[in-house]
Structures are given as structure tokens and as C-alpha cells.
A and B are shown apart, each in its own frame.
Chain A
């Protein structure tokens, strides 16, 4: 909210600087986000005196003026018809920011520079009211008072010396959404008195009872309705001081009566509404819920359909305002208004909130009512406005006011335990100190109950303008706030306490570090995407009801599409060789699924995606580049599994294509599906405009981490006896997968075979066609003796027999 310092000074004497004030407000919870010196916008503007006006040599409509600005005389080219010698004018100097450009359709601001206009140098600009942003006149320059002193800063001449604090007011503090509200806080801060203006009104002899009546049908949603009637006002534009006050805080002046209601709102925080008395049918106000199929046109000219739980202010026949939010066209104050009906009501916050949400309207009034206005202030506010109307617009205030307030809302009483307060905050304050702190906020102590020093408690009366203080803890906060958060001791682990054991390092952290070590780069992608993209991998999509755009209407079901967009972006920007990974969640709508850790009907899985595209190795001057293929993925994956001590891994080829990939393997650990690897299908790549092949592995991290038994390993003694290494080449049908052969060799070599490595596959002239030769390096080891040659021969013979039986393999000589 914009708070004007000049305005504040009407209620409280402020001797400290704006910066100081801003700091101190911030430290009691009213964060000052910006300080604006209004005069600053006229930094490079001064009062000038025109000495001489001559015709421009090259343009009929232009003149060349000599303008004195106190210390020097400037030559300025001017286009205005009304410029004359000895006028006092507003001069923008070079570097000035002209608020409005007259020649721009949007009247955008621009910076003034020294210019040559039709061949004549110009060192400034004589401005119109429009250009200065202080009026609508574009037809000529603004003429200043004869006695204006040349060289005087324009801001000083115009009397613009106000400072505006942009104050962030948290939603629990509706009482501070006004100048008096902020003045109250400053009063507590500086221990100074706040003076509120007098509301004494001169009433006429005519009693209001004969002129108007109010009937509140919905007393629950409208606990209080106060009103006055003023007859015979003259609607006009407001006096300068009022317009300036409103302009300073960003409210556009409209007419005197409306401006006064806005002024009182910004003064005391209570929203008022002025109706044209003569347009109220029956001169009656009825507060009731809207009827089904009722329509209403608000001040902003929108015709709105009402719902039957919306609270309306009506006359004898029709709605005339949406209660607490906005008035209607049918009863608004206009130039022809003579008599005014002034409403000052208190509406129930929940009711106003409901209406504001239904209409999608947030107004100065609704914001205050829905956070909680002050039910006690309605008579004060209506009197204050009536008095200002009488002072400014004339007219007579009818005797008395209507005040429908069947059930008085009394101030709350809250008891605060001194011991609890000190315990929660970690400080030691006395009961006396606590009372005096709260007293600064008009929170008065009612009684002090002493049951021994440690059980002392105090009962306070909470003013009705503080709806946020409902419980002991709320009072404790006020104590902390006024005591000063920074005066609370910073206790460095007074009660140090270790949780059970060392916190386990997350498996994802380990994987992240390993993959980084493998030369892969981590990405973090958006989890929201187009529905058509999300549906590529699954039809169990989670859709967002109110997305930012269609491009982000669904949650991802696979990490692959997001990664392809990243690959496309990088290729487009010149990086073609990419090794990327992401650890992130995918989301599924799974009606009926129940998982205690999730919301019913939805599942979220943590996935790991590895991606490779481009060349397999960094380019080197003596090597031919090789493009990555599926075996690079399998290899990196195997290295990762080794690193995190995972075994019992099975790769099972999947025959056809999967949703996004093809030519790949399903990966199982201990018989459980953990993910797959393969190449991304060409159609999918085309969709993401990626021309080169992309290879991926996508794994479920929850399954993976389940099988990582322990990160701690036990030391195994190094072998005492030497290992024997042998090569073995077998020839077999080229269609037999190597995986099965490997497994058979492994089994039949037990228990002495300790390592097996495929080092060559040969197909060619030296063996029969349709056959392939697979060469393995084998390692044999015994834990209790040195292996003899014959022992190894026996094992090898067994391997040959077994592979021959199973695959028809022969040993290659």
C-alpha cells in the first residue's frame, strides 16, 4: 500500500528521516519495499523566464526562444502558439524525463536530449501541462505565476515535496491498511500519541427517520449497518489538496463526494459507499442475499449474474451494490446528484471473500472487508465523511444516523501466561514489561492473576480493529514484535541433540556424483508440458485444471520428451555431442491407487534418465570419431551399477518398439522391472526436430534404491594364490545371442572361473559362413591352492562340453 508521509503527518509528528522510518517500520513487520520522493520526477525541470521570441528561420510554426533559468540563458526551439516574452514557464533541461510525449499515441515518457530542430540548436523544452503530467492541456505551454522565480526547481514551485512509502502489509493486518493504521504502529514505535481528526457534525433540524430507512435481512453477514443522509450537495471536482492526496497514493480523483469516501477509506481503513439518494427506490436500503437469476450492473459497466449466496445491498426494488465490493450504475453519484445516502457498514469477512472470489473482483473495499474490518468504527467513519462532504460540497446533514447493530461485537479478552511467553520466545520479560509493550498497541491489561511468580498471567482487552489477535500465541507474537526480534538472544544450540545415527546419504546424491564423474551433465527440466507430449509415454496423465497455457497443461509421464527439447535447444545453439542426465519425478493419474505416501488416485515416481547423442569420445587428432550407440548406454549403466554395488541385473531384449524407444533392452534387478534402454524412435525425434540419433536409459529410482543393499562394504582379502588366465574362442551359429553363451560359460566354469571378458567377435573367411567366433579372456583362481594346469584344463573342457551341448559351439583352433 502507498502511504504518503505528508498525509501521515496529519495524525502523528514524525521527526525521523524517511529512510529511518522505513527501516523501523520494516523491523516491526511492515516491510517498506520502496521509498519514492514525488518531486524526484521533476529533477531536471526548473522555472524559466522567456526573454525573447523569434520566428524560426526554417519553419513557420516554430519559434526560437531565449529563456533565462537563473544562472544562464538557454536557446530553446518551441512549437507552442502561446509562447510570449516575459512569461514564466516550466523548462525541461537536457536529460529530463518528460512524463508524456504529446506526439505519441500512448503518451509514453521520453528523455530530453540536446537537439537540432530544423537546423537550430535547442537546449531544452518549454512544457505543456500535459507533457508534465499535471493536466490535460496539450494546446500550449503551461504558464506559471508572474512572481515565480527563474531557476527554482519546478517540484518546489509546484509544492511537490511528498514522500511515498510502499508498505507491504501482510494479510493478517487489515487494521494497518490505512494512514491512521500505520500512524498507530508508528505511535507504538516512537511512543507518541496519534491524533485523529474531529468528527463533530452540524446537523439540520430534519431527522433522518423521515427520509430513509434500513432493513438488514441477513444479520449474520451484515452485523452492522450505519448510514447518514446529506441533502443539497453540489457535485464538482475536488479541491486541490484532496486531489493531490489521492493522486499521491495512486487513486484517480472522480468527483468531490466519491473522492471523500475514498479519502476516508485511505485515512481510517473503513470502506464507505455513497449512493444517489434520489435513485434509491423507496429511499430504503435492504441488505439481503441475491435471488436466483438476478442480474446487476456494477460501476465498471459490467452486467453480472448473481448467485443466491451473494450478499447484496438493495433498495425497495433492486440491488444497488454488491455488499462490500462495488456499487452499481443505477445509484452512482453523478453530476446531477443532489442528495447523498452514505453507507458505513461492517460485513462478515467470509461472505465478502465468497463474493469477491465468485466475481473475480478485488477492490480496495473487498480487500479490507475480507481480511476483517473494524465493527466499532462505522459511526466514526460515516461522521467523518459527512463532515467533509458538508465542508467541501455544502448541503445539510440530516439529524441522527441509522445504526442497525442488533448484536454488539465486544472486544475480545485474552489471557497471557508470562511463563509461556518467555518459554516460547526464549527470553525473560516481567509481567510489567509485557503489559507496557502491549499497552503501546492499545491492548490494555484488564487484570493480573498471580498464582506464584512462575504462574503469573495477565488478561488483556483486544481492540476490535485487531481481528488477528485471537489466542495467547497471537499476543506472544505482539510481545516479540514490540520487544524486537533482534533483542531476542540467538542461542547456539543450547539443547544439542543428535538424531539416531548418521543421516543416510540419499542414493540419488550418490548417483548424481557418479554420473558427473562419468562426464555427464545434469539438467533440471520443467515437469509441466503439453498434453499431447505427456501422452506419448502414458495415457494416465495428470492434467492441470487452470494451466498457465496449453503448453503446460499436463504433468510429464516420462523424462524423455523434456530431455529431447533440451537436446534440440542445444543442437540449435551449436552443441551436438551431449551426455546429459536428469533425476526427477514423473506423475500418473491412477484412479483407485492407494499409497500412504501419496494422494489417493495419484502416483509419483522418481526417475533417472541418461541420454547420449553425437560422438562417443571427445574428438582427438589421431582417432576417427565414432558415434554413440546402444552399447555405450549399456556400458555406462553397467559402470553405474558396479559403482553402487548392484548385481543380479538382467537385460532382456524387447522385441518390438516401445512408446518412445526401440532396439533396446528391459532391465531387471532381482527379477523386478527397473527400466529400459534403447534408441529414441525416429518419429519421436522428428517431432522434437532432432535429426541425430539419441540413446537413452530411463530407470525407476525407487526400485533401484530398494536393491542397493548397503553402501558400506566389507573388505575382502586379496587372493593368496596366483590367478591363471586363458583365452577361449568358440565358433557357433551367428544368430545365437552372446548373452546366453556368456551365462553358460560362467555357470560351467564354477567355482574356479572368477572373471570373464568378451574381447573379440569375428565373422569372416577363416570360419564357415553363418558362424561367428567369440573370444573370451577367462580368469581362474582358487582360494586355497595354486592351480595346476590340468585343473584349469578340466574346467575348460567342461565349458567346451557344456557350450557345445547347448549351442553347438566348437572350440576355434
Chain B
């Protein structure tokens, strides 16, 4: 039995080399692989050999069939693509067969990188609705009704009390409403501003917000977290500064600037000659906000921060018109493959 298998293996190897066209190939198949072919015959013989030899012979036979089948398949493919004829005049300067190349949108690439850094620092993700109510978008964030701070953000309204969120901060409220401290989340998402569309502003953009509330969280740690983030994102040799600012839902509030990486701080058009680039807003969560979500401001402190993905992406790649990000011209997308 073993000899017959060896013999067939040799025979098949020889004959496959002689196959020149599809007709030859079909003959080969009938001879070896078909129902009444050589291999099938051997399988029939299997019944007549001693039963203790059967498993090993069966295994060898199966391997033979696989081998012959593979010879057949390979030859079939070669004949199919007509390669035998080209063998004599193989022109290797011809281009290879390409595949499609994909790409992630630059905005989601930036967001991915930001998320990765905060994941490593123990933050998890939270999301919330873009269609928001006045309570979550403004009131619970310490923008009282009829407060001038509301003018800082031009709002799209759906109805009197329903609007398109102007920032991702309402998700802070939603998270705290549903969870007791410690809270450590980042909140990515789309936000809307009713502003005239221009190269510098679009009717919508994306933010990543961060929130950390626990016992004994201080401004000093807020700085630490954001500096760690900025060093990982912008490079470890970065210079930074925090300066006072105002957001109704944080107190004290700050803005973080880093040295302009385009002019190395010497001053250029992008940094408006200041040498600094504003990259995010932040602050300690205002005690009024805790009152809205039922946290005890005497027991807990925390910080929040937020940054614009478009702005960061534009600075990073030197994009000077925000609208190109939403045009989705493949000639643009291709650059981020």
C-alpha cells in the first residue's frame, strides 16, 4: 500500500508538469482525482488490507489526495492567468497589482491619539446627546437664565428649551447625575455653534472634555495631568503656561498655552505674534455645579478641561481653512493614509 502511494505521488508530479492547457488538466483530474480515478481506487483497496494497518494507510492516502489536489489547483491557477505564455517574456518593469488604500479622517486620528493618552492615565469614555436641554447645556453648568455668559456661545435652538449642545460639558452633568465620585472620564463629541461659516469657524466642531472628581483633587493636579498630556501629545521638550480665564462651570478657570511649535516661540502669523498657542480651557469644577448634581462640595473637589479637535488638527498639520475638514475631498483625505 505504502509503495503504491509513493508511486502515485511520483506519477502525479511528473504528469502535472506535462499539462499544457485546460484539456490536459481535465485529463489529469479524471485520471487521479475523479470518482473512478487512481486515488479513489486506492481508497477502495483500503478495505481489503488488515484492519490494524488501515488508520496509517488512510492517513497517508488522505495526504496524497491533498497533495495531488494542490498540484491540480496550482496548475489551474497558472493556466487561468495565462502565465505560461509570458514566462519567456517576463517584463518586471510592469507595475504590480495594487490594492485599495484606506485612511482614517484626520479628525478621528487626532481624537484617537488624545484618547489613548488619557486611557493610560486611567480615564474612561462617556458620551451624551447632541440634542440637549437648556438645563444640562447651561443651567446646571452655572449659566443662570439671562446671564451674559450665555452670549459666549451662539446657540442653535430646536425649541425654547431644547438646543444643539454648544459644548460637551453637559455630559459632565449627565455623568455626575448617574454616578458617585470618584469620576474620571473623557467625553468626546460633536458640538454646534451658530456662527458665520468662514475659514476659521464652522457651524459645528468636535471637542474632548475631561472630568475628574474625588476627595482632595487640587488645581496642582489639574496642571500635572494636562502637562503630562501635552508632553505626550506635543513632545517632551514643550514649554507651557496656564493663565486665568473664565468659564461659568469652573472656578478658578484657566487656559493652557504651549510654545508655538511653528515658530518655536519667536512669533508668527498662526500664534498672532505672541509665540504661544492656546490649546485648551480648564479649571476646578465650580461648587454650584455640584449642587445641581447632588455632590457635597465640602467633601469633593475636581477638575474639568476641554479642547477642540479641529483646532488641534489644524495646528498639527498646518491646515488654514477649517472647511476643508468637512469637504472630504479624496485628494485631501489621501494625505492622511
A residues in contact with B75, CB < 8 Å: none
Partner of A545, one of B102, B157, B204: B157
A residues in contact with B287, CB < 8 Å: 471, 473
Asked if A745 lies at the interface with its beta carbon under 8 angstroms from chain B, I say: no
For chain A residues 492-547, which have a beta carbon within 8 Å of chain B? 492-499, 503-504, 506, 509, 512-513, 515-528, 542-547
Q: When the two chains form their complex, are residues A426 and B220 in contact, meaning their CB atoms are under 8 A apart?
A: yes
Asked if B18 lies at the interface with its beta carbon under 8 angstroms from chain A, I say: no
Asked if A173 lies at the interface with its beta carbon under 8 angstroms from chain B, I say: yes
Report how far A724 CA is from B65 CA in the complex, Å.
9
B residues in contact with A520, CB < 8 Å: 100, 102
State the Cβ distance, A727 to closest chain B Cβ, in Å: 10
Q: When the two chains form their complex, are residues B102 and A524 in contact, meaning their CB atoms are under 8 A apart?
A: no
For chain B residues 154-185, which have a beta carbon within 8 Å of chain A? 156-159, 162, 164, 174, 182, 184
Report how far A480 CA is from B328 CA in the complex, Å.
45
Partner of B129, one of A26, A491, A604: A604
Report how far A495 CA is from B303 CA in the complex, Å.
14
Q: When the two chains form their complex, are residues A486 and B182 in contact, meaning their CB atoms are under 8 A apart?
A: no
Q: When the two chains form their complex, are residues B157 and A544 in contact, meaning their CB atoms are under 8 A apart?
A: yes
State the Cβ distance, A493 to closest chain B Cβ, in Å: 6
B residues in contact with A545, CB < 8 Å: 156-159
Asked if B78 lies at the interface with its beta carbon under 8 angstroms from chain A, I say: no
B residues in contact with A42, CB < 8 Å: none
Interface flags for A544-581 (1: CB within 8 Å of B; 0: not) read 11111000100100000000001001100101001110
Q: When the two chains form their complex, are residues A524 and B325 in contact, meaning their CB atoms are under 8 A apart?
A: yes
List the one stretch of A102-110, A350-358, A387-395, A687-695 in contact with chain B.
A350-358
State the Cβ distance, B324 to closest chain A Cβ, in Å: 11
* CB within 8 Å for A29 and B243 given contacts A497-B122, A516-B102: yes
State the Cβ distance, A267 to closest chain B Cβ, in Å: 22
Report how far A625 CA is from B174 CA in the complex, Å.
53
* CB within 8 Å for A488 and B223 given contacts A353-B148, A525-B328, A542-B131: yes
Partner of B97, one of A427, A489, A599, A620: A620
Q: How many residues of A contact B (CB 8 A)?
A: 102
* CB within 8 Å for A426 and B221 given contacts A495-B216, A527-B204, A546-B156: yes
Asked if B104 lies at the interface with its beta carbon under 8 angstroms from chain A, I say: yes
Asked if A172 lies at the interface with its beta carbon under 8 angstroms from chain B, I say: yes
State the Cβ distance, A479 to closest chain B Cβ, in Å: 9
Q: Give the number of A-B contacts (CB < 8 Å).
A: 259
State the Cβ distance, A472 to closest chain B Cβ, in Å: 8
Interface flags for B41-60 (1: CB within 8 Å of A; 0: not) read 00100100000000100110
Asked if A370 lies at the interface with its beta carbon under 8 angstroms from chain B, I say: yes
Q: When the two chains form their complex, are residues A786 and B59 in contact, meaning their CB atoms are under 8 A apart?
A: yes
Asked if A241 lies at the interface with its beta carbon under 8 angstroms from chain B, I say: no
Asked if A170 lies at the interface with its beta carbon under 8 angstroms from chain B, I say: yes
Q: When the two chains form their complex, are residues A425 and B220 in contact, meaning their CB atoms are under 8 A apart?
A: yes
Report how far A498 CA is from B119 CA in the complex, Å.
10
Write the chain A residue with the least CB distance to B275. A23
* CB within 8 Å for A423 and B149 given contacts A485-B242, A497-B122, A597-B128: no
Report how far A573 CA is from B333 CA in the complex, Å.
13
B residues in contact with A623, CB < 8 Å: 97
* CB within 8 Å for A503 and B124 given contacts A426-B221, A520-B100, A620-B98: yes
Q: When the two chains form their complex, are residues A579 and B102 in contact, meaning their CB atoms are under 8 A apart?
A: yes
Q: When the two chains form their complex, are residues A722 and B66 in contact, meaning their CB atoms are under 8 A apart?
A: yes
Q: When the two chains form their complex, are residues A498 and B122 in contact, meaning their CB atoms are under 8 A apart?
A: yes
Asked if A715 lies at the interface with its beta carbon under 8 angstroms from chain B, I say: no
Report how far A113 CA is from B218 CA in the complex, Å.
60
Report how far A594 CA is from B157 CA in the complex, Å.
20
Q: When the two chains form their complex, are residues A512 and B108 in contact, meaning their CB atoms are under 8 A apart?
A: yes
Partner of B333, one of A26, A523, A725: A523
B residues in contact with A725, CB < 8 Å: 66, 69
Q: When the two chains form their complex, are residues B148 and A548 in contact, meaning their CB atoms are under 8 A apart?
A: no
Asked if B224 lies at the interface with its beta carbon under 8 angstroms from chain A, I say: yes
A residues in contact with B330, CB < 8 Å: 521, 570, 573, 575, 578
Q: When the two chains form their complex, are residues B203 and A526 in contact, meaning their CB atoms are under 8 A apart?
A: yes
B residues in contact with A620, CB < 8 Å: 95, 97-98
Report how far A244 CA is from B129 CA in the complex, Å.
52
State the Cβ distance, B22 to closest chain A Cβ, in Å: 15
Report how far A515 CA is from B81 CA in the complex, Å.
29
Write the chain B residue with the least CB distance to A722. B62
State the Cβ distance, B182 to closest chain A Cβ, in Å: 7
Partner of B149, one of A29, A171, A580: A171
Asked if B24 lies at the interface with its beta carbon under 8 angstroms from chain A, I say: no
Interface flags for B102-125 (1: CB within 8 Å of A; 0: not) read 111101100010010001011111
* CB within 8 Å for A544 and B164 given contacts A425-B219, A473-B251, A477-B251: yes
Report how far A424 CA is from B223 CA in the complex, Å.
12
Asked if A33 lies at the interface with its beta carbon under 8 angstroms from chain B, I say: yes
Write the chain A residue with the least CB distance to B256. A485
State the Cβ distance, A547 to closest chain B Cβ, in Å: 7
Q: When the two chains form their complex, are residues B242 and A569 in contact, meaning their CB atoms are under 8 A apart?
A: no
B residues in contact with A494, CB < 8 Å: 220-221, 224
Report how far A519 CA is from B58 CA in the complex, Å.
44
For chain B residues 201-219, which have a beta carbon within 8 Å of chain A? 203-204, 214, 216-219
Q: When the two chains form their complex, are residues A585 and B108 in contact, meaning their CB atoms are under 8 A apart?
A: no
Q: When the two chains form their complex, are residues B252 and A522 in contact, meaning their CB atoms are under 8 A apart?
A: no
For chain A residues 471-487, which have a beta carbon within 8 Å of chain B? 471, 473-474, 476-477, 480-481, 485-486
Q: When the two chains form their complex, are residues A33 and B220 in contact, meaning their CB atoms are under 8 A apart?
A: no
Write the chain A residue with the least CB distance to B164. A544
A residues in contact with B115, CB < 8 Å: 509
Write the chain B residue with the least CB distance to A468. B246
A residues in contact with B272, CB < 8 Å: 33-34
Asked if A275 lies at the interface with its beta carbon under 8 angstroms from chain B, I say: no
Q: When the two chains form their complex, are residues B244 and A29 in contact, meaning their CB atoms are under 8 A apart?
A: yes
For chain A residues 246-305, which have a beta carbon within 8 Å of chain B? none
Asked if A31 lies at the interface with its beta carbon under 8 angstroms from chain B, I say: yes
Which 6 pairs between the two chains have the least Cβ-Cβ distance?
A: A426-B220, A519-B100, A426-B218, A29-B244, A170-B246, A477-B252
- 16 CB-based A-B contacts, threshold 8 Å: A370-B148, A492-B224, A493-B221, A495-B221, A518-B102, A522-B333, A524-B325, A525-B328, A545-B158, A602-B162, A604-B130, A621-B94, A722-B66, A725-B66, A786-B62, A788-B58
Add 14 more A-B contacts to A496-B122, A499-B122, A722-B62 (CB < 8 A).
Answer: A171-B152, A371-B148, A481-B244, A485-B223, A493-B221, A512-B104, A522-B333, A523-B105, A523-B328, A544-B164, A597-B129, A601-B162, A602-B158, A618-B99
